[in-house]
Amino acid sequence: MKTVITYGTFDLFHIGHLRLLQRAKKLGDKLIVAVSTDEFNLKKGKKAIIPYEQRAEIVKNIKSVDLVIPENSWEQKVEDIKKYNVDIFVMGEDWKGRFDYLKDYCEVIYLPRTQGISSTEIRNILQYM
Ligand code: C2G
């Protein structure tokens, strides 16, 4: 039984998020997704349009996802990996290298991003409608 974990804001859920979660699930048997809380997003310098509860509920209802937990801090990843016996940590390649320190605890895989779509692009389009 291989457990995979990934982290993200998943604001304005789109095909890029879905493809990442589908690919992450294919790497194992169980996929855990840590969704950034609104408070943590402020620390990330990001302001999501959709509140945490709704972003978490959407991700929870994605077929590939088995468990959703809140992401409250940068530091929680090691605890999460130990707590959930995670085998593989996955992130989109825009984060390549940033989480290599986790290789002491589990496999670290960066997956290609889906081109041509992002929450920022969607937000920009919405502003001009
Ligand atoms: N993603 C993707 N393709 C896109 C957009 C996003 O593959 N077109 C991936 C990102 O690489 C990331 C995941 O989808 O792995 C979630 O993206 P965001 O919600 O933008 O995540 P981010 O705000 O970068 O938060 O501790 C890690 C952070 O919480 C990551």
pLDDT the model gives residue 53: 98
Give the span between the Cα atoms of 5 and 8, in whole angstroms.
Answer: 10
- The closest of 7, 87, 73, 88 to 40, measured between CA atoms, is 73
When pLDDT is cut at 50, 70 and 90, the band that residue 32 belongs to is: very high
Burial class (CB in 10 A: 0-12, 13-18, 19+), 103: exposed
pTM over the 0.90 mark: yes
Task: Check pLDDT > 90 for residue 128.
Answer: no
Ligand 1 within 6 A of CB of 92: yes
* pLDDT, the chain, mean: 96
How confident is the model at residue 1, as a pLDDT? 93
Residue 19 has a pLDDT of: 98
Q: Please check the confidence at residue 72 and state whether its pLDDT lies above 90.
A: yes
Instruction: Say what the pLDDT of residue 126 is.
Output: 86
Question: Is the pLDDT at 123 greater than 90, yes or no?
Answer: no
The reply to whether ligand 1 has any atom less than 6 angstroms from the CB of 52 is no
Among 2, 43, 44, 82, which one carries the catalytic annotation?
44
Do 77 and 102 meet the contact criterion of CB atoms below 8 Å apart? yes
Q: Tell me, in angstroms, the distance from the centre of ligand 1 to residue 29's CA.
A: 21
Q: Which residues pair with 89 in a beta bridge?
A: 5, 108
∠ Cα 20 42 31 (to 5°): 25
At 67, list the tokens: 């468990």
51 has pLDDT over 90: yes
Confirm whether 44 is a catalytic residue: yes
pLDDT of residue 76: 98
